[in-house]
Amino acid sequence: MSKGRVLRVDDAPSVLNSYRGDRLGAASTVTATDAKNRFGRVLEKVIQGSLVVITKHDEPKAVLISMREFNALTNGNRIKLDTLSGEFDALLARMQTPAARVGMKAAFDASPNQMGKAAVAVARRRG
């Protein structure tokens, strides 16, 4: 499994606010002591699809989610990363062609006047 972003305790409120806003209404809040003493009940809520926010001294410290939710979150990021990796690889391949090398050499060897003319030409083509 790939490593995910490590969340600091201070991130909890912003993560809760950005995490699937439609689900926040289903979130339950319990104190750390209650979570410890009533873990079976808390776990059952999570299994049934609720988010459970665990607080300590009235501050959110952790969020419990079901495996289904966890898998959806991690797979969503993996798909995005795979897509970006594919796009990067395709771009890199296009940059490695002989024509691209000639173009980059011309760009680096161009005078400021030549660069200005090329920029104006591109801007006119784009309209």
User: Can you give the residue ranges of every domain in the chain?
Assistant: 9-65, 69-96, 98-127
The residue among 14 and 43 whose pLDDT is bigger is 43
From residue 53, give the alpha-carbon distance in Å to each of 15, 17, 57, 89, 102: 11, 12, 13, 40, 57
Position 76 scores a pLDDT of 75
The mean pLDDT value for 104-120 works out to: 93
Per-residue pLDDT of 58-83, as tens digits, reads 999 999 999 998 888 888 778 888 89
* Residue among 88, 16, 94 nearest 52 (CA): 16
Q: Say which CATH topology domain 9-65 has.
A: YefM-like fold (3.40.1620)
Q: Is the pLDDT of residue 85 over 70?
A: yes
Residue 117 pLDDT level (bands cut at 50, 70, 90): very high
Per-residue pLDDT at 89: 95
- Which tops the pLDDT comparison, 72 or 2? 72
Q: 11-36 as b/e, with b when 16 or more CB fall inside 10 Å?
A: ebeeebeebeeeeeeebeebeeeebe
What pLDDT score was predicted for residue 78? 80
- What pLDDT is attached to residue 109? 94
CA gap 72, 66 in Å, rounded: 10
Average pLDDT, the chain: 82
Distance CA 90, CA 84 (A): 10
pTM of the predicted model as reported, rounded to 2 decimal places: 0.47
